[in-house]
Structure 1
């Protein structure tokens, strides 16, 4: 079953120019190349082979010399150098056969022709259309268009209505190939090439039918494989997307800055933790809870009351020892007070005749800051409990009087011994009198 090359050409061209192909891309950065790198970072050389069908009918349809165009086989190959992401220079070779029947002018003697293209070589520029976008580093499908110029050699055979064949000698002419198609990446180094090409020939003798000033042309629809040469560690220049590469570089830089910022934040957090720990240690080592001027770490007597003078270990200093000198005159004042001291019978009330001598004792305590111990004693008359209370009350009574006169209460001690410490016998009145006494001790 014959295939219409016209319809096939339209389909291939429509697919090649379709914007939907631009979306079939890959985000792989396996063969990432830094933006603005030279062509040395890419694979730029490739070779290809292809085969397909030829026909006198083309997309640029007009009246051909023959009514019927028979599809025939063609094949070829090429070598391409990709000089830019979108531009490649390609050297092409082609061989094939053209055939048609039913001349448009009925009087023409040849009813069918067959032309064998011995060779067609040309140099073409190939423009890749779909490797520039913002999102992807590499395209899977690359539409392209091509145009060039070259030379071909061909020979034709004419067949008359009776079946007689006439072979025409080899002819040579130049031609212009214009094509479009798309390539599909099958792997890192292999691309499927689907395309359609119209060859404008600078002669009207390609079919050996000369109909006025008319230039022949033919179409060639093909499928083939392209092999990229060089290390697979490098991407193909034709499939690499420089715009997305710049975008990736920006995103990678942004990510690197974010990572650096996150690391700096982590380091700052660690420094803050270390600083807080150090401050806590410093606070612990420099704490002085009781305010005595000695750090807690060295304070052997924590909790010292405020204002207490302490030594280097934080312990209270012993009060300074003041040497007290009691003179004979001082003793005489005290002895006189003892001698003149009288209480009401069985009471702790001091009789007035004792006041003058006690006043002198009070003044002595004020002037010389003496300490005074008052010790009350009784005889054995009455119960021991009553005598103990009475001796204590009399000593306290004297202390109260002296304090009232200005003496320092903290330096006066009043105690009672009752009848426990007699200095004479309680069997006689004189002895009992001696035992009823209050002793004054200066110090």
Structure 2
């Protein structure tokens, strides 16, 4: 009889423990099901010039390869310069037509000119040797005028804030007999504040001493 009573007591204790553990286990299971895993999705932005700044934020989208840039995607300006923005447009052989993609970049230049209302924009037109050989002596000038005219007509920028020059074929950045000769059919622009321009070191594709203002 005593042995039977011991067995009954043990069974009762086991049932009690089982009853206590079941809600805890069920509760833990429910909590796991109720948890929501937050998986962040990383947006992929194009960076056409490889400077680490996405194109939709890049204010200098044609930065040369391996150049250190600031958070705007523009090369760091020398000490004391508050504004420096470069612009480049390239043209078909014998043409001064400004393609839409270069118009979009000019819209960004205009935005900066409105932000810095004392800034000036230097515009230098160039041509390739084979264009000059065909007697297209005014082509470089016309290219510079196309860029200037776009900013005047679309954005109503004061004409006094432009400095236009023609470099003809005197400032090449690619050999005339290479496949990169198209780089010589261009306009180079530099937006700076007046007091800063004299301190600016021009890049290789801009040679003010060889260009003639008009």
Larger RCO: 1 or 2 (CA < 8 Å, sep 6+): 2
Q: Which has the larger radius of gyration?
A: 1
* Larger strand proportion of the pair: 1
TM, length-normalised to structure 1: 0.23
TM, length-normalised to structure 2: 0.46
* Larger helix proportion of the pair: 2
